[in-house]
Amino acid sequence: MKILSTYQTRDLDEYTIKNEPIPSIDLMERAAQAFVNSFVLKYDNTFKTVIFCGIGNNGGDGLAVARKLHQLGYDVQTYVLGNSTNGSIDFLENLKRLQNQSEVIKLSENDEFHLPKKEKSVIIDAIFGSGLNRPIDGFLAIVILKINQTGLPIVSIDIASGLFSDTHSPQSAVIQPTYTITFQYPKLAFFQPENEKSVGSWEAVDIGLSQDSIREAKTKYYYTSSAEIRPLARSSFSHKGTFGHAFLVAGSYGMMGAAVLATKACLRSGVGKITTHVPKKCVDILQISVPEVIVDISHNDYHFDGIWNFTKYDAVAMGPGIGLENIDKFEEFLKKTPNKKLIIDADGITFLGQRPELLKLLPKNTILTPHPKEFKSLIGRGWENDFEKLEILSEFAVSKKIIICLKGKNTAVALPNGEIHFNSTGNSGMATAGSGDVLTGIILSFLAQGYPPEQAAIQGVYEHGLAGDQAAKNRSERSMIASDIIENLR
C-alpha cells in the first residue's frame, strides 16, 4: 500500500471530485460516514461524545460526524474553535446542517469551557488535519493541553491535531489520541517512533478516492499489508533440492541459542536443507536441538574462525551469536562471497561498523538487519529526528546497493532503489532475546528458496511479525519468547 504526502492526497482529492465526479461536500460526507462506521464499533451510544472542531475541512468532518452520531442517538456536545465565519465552504455547510439538529458551542480566546468529567465520555479531535502548516500556539494550544489532561479516550479524525503528516513535528501542542481513524492511507508520521504518543493505534478507512489516480501517484514509501504478500508456489513434484540449500554461520560457545533459533526458523520457513557452521565444542547442542540440520564444523573450539568452502549453497547468512573475536576472518569470508545471496546480522553488522571499508565487499542486494543502535554504529553517526533517520537509511541503501531491514515497531525495509517499506505486523512481545535470530533464519530460508532479495526481506519481516502476533495471542506479549515465534510460523 502506498503512503502518500499531504500534497499528493490533496491532488487525489481534487482528481476524485472532478473525475468521479462527486461534489466536495459529498466527499466530506463519505469521509465522515467512513469515520462513524469505525467509531461506533469502539464506542457505542452510551458514551457521551464531545467533539472539538477547527474551521477548516477537518473541522467540517467533525461537524458531519457530530450530526451522524446525534442521529444514531449519541449524546453529542460540539465545540467550534475560532471564528466560524472564516470557515471553509464545506465547514460552513456542515455547520448549517448540524445547527438544524443540535446545539453548537462556539469558543474563542478567553471563553470558559468545561471538559467532560463523566467517566463514560470520549473526545473526538477535529481541530486540524492535513492542512496544518505551522505549530499550534496560543488559545488552541491551551485547549489541546486541557484535552490531553482529561485522561479520557480521544479519537482523532484523519490525524492528531498538531501532528505534521510528512515532516518532523516540533515540540509543541499536539493531541495525544488513543486512536486515529485516518482517511484512505496512513501518513508517514504514523511510522516514526518519535510520534508514538501523537498517533495511538490507527486504522485507515476507505473513502473511495480515485484508484486510477492512486495507481499513478509516485512515492518511495509503502506499507506492507497482507495483499502484498505472495508466497512462492510449491509444486507437488518438488523434492528437497527444489527449495534450496541454505548456509548459516552462527553461534559460539555460550551463544548457541542464536544458531539454534536461526536454524529452526529457516527450516520452518520452507527451505529444503540447511547447513549450519558452528565451533567444534558447540556441535552437540545444535544437533540435539535441531536434528534436521547438517552441521559444518569449525576448526576452532569456541568461536567463528573462518570458512573455507561454501560455493554449493543457494544463500548464506552470517552473524547471529558468532562473537567479535575474529574480524580478519570475517573479511576473508566476505571476499569469498562476490556472487552470493547474502544476509548479515548481529555481530556481522558490528564488524561492518568497526571496519566500514568492508561494506564495499558486500554483493549487490545483500540484506542487513540492524536494530537502530547497530545502524548508528554502521553509519558512524546519529540523527536529529526520525525523519532524518529515514533519509539517511534510504541514502545508505541506495549508495551501497544493499537492503537494510531497520528493526523496530513497523520495521523499515530500505531497498537499493530508494524505496522504504514499513511492516504492518508484530508487537512489543517480539522485543525479546533471539527474536532477531529468528528473522535472520526466515529471510535466509526465503533467499535460498529463490525469492528475489527485496521480496525475501519484505516478506520475511512480515511473516516474522505475523508469527509473533499469533504467539502473543496464544500466550501474551509479555510472556512470549523467540521460540514461540518459530512455533507459529505457518
Ligand X SMILES: NC(=O)C1=CN([C@@H]2O[C@H](COP(=O)(O)OP(=O)(O)OC[C@H]3O[C@@H](n4cnc5c(N)ncnc54)[C@H](OP(=O)(O)O)[C@@H]3O)[C@@H](O)[C@H]2O)[C@@H](O)CC1
Q: Residues at the annotated binding site for (6S)-NADPHX?
A: 57-61, 129-135, 158, 258, 321, 371, 437
Q: Which is nearer to ligand X, 173 or 402 (CB)?
A: 173
Q: Which is nearer to ligand X, 122 or 207 (CB)?
A: 207
> Which residues contact ligand X (rule: CB under 6 A)?
9-10, 13, 27-28, 31, 54, 56-61, 88, 128-136, 157-158, 183, 207, 209
Q: What angle do CA 438, 444, 449 make, to 5 degrees?
A: 130
- Per partner kind, with CB cut-offs from 5 to 8 A, the member of ligand X, K ion, none near residue 125 is K ion
Q: How far apart are alpha carbons 130 and 59 in whole angstroms?
A: 11
- Per partner kind, with CB cut-offs from 5 to 8 A, the member of K ion, ligand X, none near residue 156 is K ion
> Which residues contact K ion (rule: CB under 5 A)?
125, 129, 156-157, 161
Q: Which helix (H) or strand (E) holds 121?
A: strand 121-126
Q: Which is nearer to K ion, 161 or 423 (CB)?
A: 161
Which ranges of 380-427 does DSSP label H, i.e. alpha helix?
386-400
Q: Which is nearer to ligand X, 139 or 253 (CB)?
A: 139
If one counts every other C-beta atom within 10 angstroms of the C-beta of residue 429, the result is 20
Please tell me the number of Cα atoms within 13 Å of 258 on its side-chain side.
Answer: 26
Q: How far apart are alpha carbons 182 and 163 in whole angstroms?
A: 13
- Per partner kind, with CB cut-offs from 5 to 8 A, the member of ligand X, K ion, none near residue 134 is ligand X
For residue 279, whether the previous peptide bond is cis, meaning omega lies within 30 degrees of 0, is: no
- Per partner kind, with CB cut-offs from 5 to 8 A, the member of K ion, ligand X, none near residue 374 is none
State the residue for C-alpha cell 453548537: 104
Dihedral through CA 182, CA 183, CA 186, CA 187, nearest 10?
A: -90
Secondary structure string (H, E, C) spanning 318-351: ECCCCCCCCHHHHHHHHHCCCCCCEEECCHHHHH
Minimum CB separation of residue 128 from ligand X in Å reads: 4
Minimum CB separation of residue 121 from K ion in Å reads: 18
Minimum CB separation of residue 151 from K ion in Å reads: 19
- Per partner kind, with CB cut-offs from 5 to 8 A, the member of K ion, ligand X, none near residue 261 is none
- Per partner kind, with CB cut-offs from 5 to 8 A, the member of K ion, ligand X, none near residue 183 is ligand X
Residues of each annotated binding site for AMP: 407-411, 436
Q: Which is nearer to K ion, 29 or 125 (CB)?
A: 125
What does 135-175 look like in DSSP terms, one character per residue? Answer: ---HHHHHHHHHHHHT-S-EEEESS-TT--SSSPPPSS---
Which ranges of 105-255 does DSSP label H, i.e. alpha helix?
138-149, 211-216
Instruction: For strands 179-183 and 154-157, give the pairing.
Output: parallel
Minimum CB separation of residue 77 from ligand X in Å reads: 20
Residues of each annotated binding site for K(+): 58, 125, 161
Residues of each annotated binding site: 57-61, 125, 129-135, 158, 161, 258, 321, 371, 407-411, 436-437
Minimum CB separation of residue 225 from K ion in Å reads: 24
Q: What is the DSSP letter of 359?
A: G
Minimum CB separation of residue 200 from ligand X in Å reads: 16
Minimum CB separation of residue 21 from K ion in Å reads: 27
Q: Which is nearer to K ion, 159 or 443 (CB)?
A: 159
